[in-house]
Amino acid sequence: MYLHLGQDVVVRSRDIVGIFDIENTSVSKITKEYLTNQEKKHRVINVSSELPKSFIVCSEGEKEEKVVTVYISQISCATLKKRSGYVDKLGLA
């Protein structure tokens, strides 16, 4: 299954490590450092020119050759969750 992140960007659902709300998580020093480090490695892709609402961490490739890519999206976490069809363990969508 694939997940549309905005513009013309689609990723495989199985490659997604996490979907994070950019407003809430970017307050943390650790998250800021992580995003800065990924940007220095040229692994951040901004999929929109609009105000970002979420970032999606993906890990692609084989076990030994995994490559992390961070996508910045204007789509909210809630919308991405609905698009993915994910239902948590409590059965809440």
User: pLDDT tens for residues 17-68?
Assistant: 999 999 998 889 999 999 999 999 999 999 988 999 999 999 988 777 889 9
Could you give the CA distance from residue 46 to residue 82 in angstroms, rounded to a whole number? 21
Return the amino acid letter for 60: E
Domain spans of the chain? Answer: 2-84
User: pLDDT tens for residues 12-28?
Assistant: 989 999 999 999 988 89
The pLDDT confidence band at residue 91, using thresholds 50, 70 and 90, is low
47-73 as b/e, with b when 16 or more CB fall inside 10 Å?
Answer: bbeeebbbbbbbeeeeeeeeebbbbbb
The answer to whether residue 80 scores a pLDDT higher than 50 is: yes
Sign of CA dihedral 1, 39, 47, 25: positive
